[in-house]
Amino acid sequence: MKEFPLNTSLKATLSVTATALSVASAVSFSSFAQASDSTLSEQLGIADHAVIAHRGDSYNAPESTLPAYQLACEVGADYLELDLQRTKDGKLIAVHDDNLKRNTNIETVYPERAGDPVNTFTWAELEKLDAGSWFNHSYPERARESFRGLKLVTLDQVREIAENCAHQPGLYIETKVPEFFPGIEQDLKQDLTEHGWLDDDAKGKVILQTFNKSSLEALQDVMPNVPKILLLWAGDGYIPTKDSAPKADDESYAQYYARQEVASKAGYAEWLDYAKEHGAIGVGPSGTQANFDDAWSSQFSYMDLAKSWMVDMSHEKGLLMHMYTLDDREDLIRYRERGVDGFFTNRPNVAVKALTDSDGKDIEATLTQLGY
């Protein structure tokens, strides 16, 4: 279950309009065509129908670990996605949840601190955790002995994987629970700058993302020239929804989310306008998977915030749309036909096959070649 934020047919093919120019200027184009049939993505240095590996290839390997990111790289993901948090001693690391209970053995290693947030641990303490065995227990059909004892990873490790694999993916970095990490936006800038990832010739190699409006503003403040996506959610504190019955006990979260609807087009538009006014080049809405009752999918299927009118509205405002989180070919094709520009996916191999001419890679053989 998602622990939520707390805890072309119609592509964005735009002529150079005042809108597109204002977006373009936010990312410092050195040369911008006077008139262009290229997509807004291309103009921003971002792949069309970008495949964004969500916590790596987190279907075939434990999320946010070395094999997950290495595998995502090998299968040809355009971006490696990570949720950025910071240890007590200042190390930037990739962790999704606001504690480490779900995907490490912290309850065994630090039982009294198991529910504590990442920022209360030093990196040396966190390096003692096993971030792989939970996957073998949860998904025995995809378990590998080599996953046992995997470590959490740092931003630097993910960056080095991207730098050292043939496909050279970019990094798609979310400031996660940023209220726990004041100043993390500046720390991120420093790290990326030191390693050349914010150089002029790295256009489109880093995309920043957040659900948090304050963090978007902070990111814009410290990295005004780096593309940013405001992630969208609906419900309390986010896009207003129509009244609906509370979640029933026998209902999955995916079923509950699937029946949520935004209250009005105006309410949706307000979030797009906010994103644009604060420097975002696009938005990242949730989507509903067609088969959301499947045990895997039910964790990643949410409200449909990428309906056709929503995609069109985003493009009319000059905003890209990168949606989360699709793992089935059917869903990827369906949303691509609505005009969605990029996809967070736990299964980058499936997405590469669905969205390109590639036959994809043999996952088993690739993991073995990688030493797992």
| Site residues for ligand G3P per CB under 6 A | 2, 54, 81, 83, 96, 174, 209, 231, 284, 324-325, 344
Mention every residue, 6+ apart, whose C-beta is less than 8 A from residue 217.
Answer: 278
Question: Nearest distance from residue 96's CB to ligand G3P, in Å?
Answer: 6
If the CB atoms of residues 54 and 336 are measured against Ca ion, the closer one turns out to be 54
C-alpha dihedral, 298 to 291 to 52 to 94, nearest 10°? 10
Query: For residue 98, how far is the Cα from the chain centroid?
Result: 16
CB of 83 to Ca ion, least distance (A): 5
Of these residues, 49, 96, 315, 322, which one is catalytic? 96
Chosen from ligand G3P, Ca ion, none, partner binding at 231 (C-beta under 5 to 8 Å by type)? ligand G3P
Q: Which does residue 2 bind out of Ca ion, ligand G3P, none, counting CB within 5 to 8 angstroms by kind?
A: ligand G3P
Residue nearest to Ca ion (CB): 174
322 is catalytic: no
CB-CB contact of 367 with 61 (8 Å) = yes
d(CA 316, CA 19): 9
Q: Is 96 a catalytic residue?
A: yes
Write down the least CB distance from residue 174 to ligand G3P, Å: 4
Residue nearest to ligand G3P (CB): 324
Q: Which is nearer to Ca ion, 322 or 361 (CB)?
A: 322
Q: Which is nearer to ligand G3P, 24 or 272 (CB)?
A: 272
3-state secondary structure 32-86: CCCCCCCEHHHHCCCCCCEEEECCCCCCCCCCCCHHHHHHHHHCCCCEEEEEEEE
C-beta closer to ligand G3P: residue 40 or 208: 208
Q: Are 207 and 172 in contact (CB under 8 A)?
A: yes
- By C-beta, is 58 or 105 nearer to Ca ion? 58
Residues that bind Ca ion (CB under 5 A): 83, 174
State the amino acid at position 122 in one-letter form.
T
Nearest to 145 by CA among 53, 61, 56, 59: 61
Q: Which residues pair with 92 in a beta bridge?
A: 86
* Catalytic one of 49, 54, 315, 322: 54
191's contact among ligand G3P, Ca ion, none, with CB below 5 to 8 A by partner kind, is none
Q: Give the residue carrying structure tokens 């434990």.
A: 62
User: Which of Ca ion, ligand G3P, none binds 97 (CB below 5-8 Å, type-dependent)?
Assistant: none
- Helix/strand/coil (H, E, C) string of 11-39? CCECCCCHHHHHHHHHCCCCCCCCCCCCE
Q: Which does 208 bind (CB under 5 to 8 A by kind): ligand G3P, Ca ion, none?
A: none
Please, are residues 20 and 350 in contact by the beta-carbon 8 Å criterion?
no
Active site residues: 54, 96
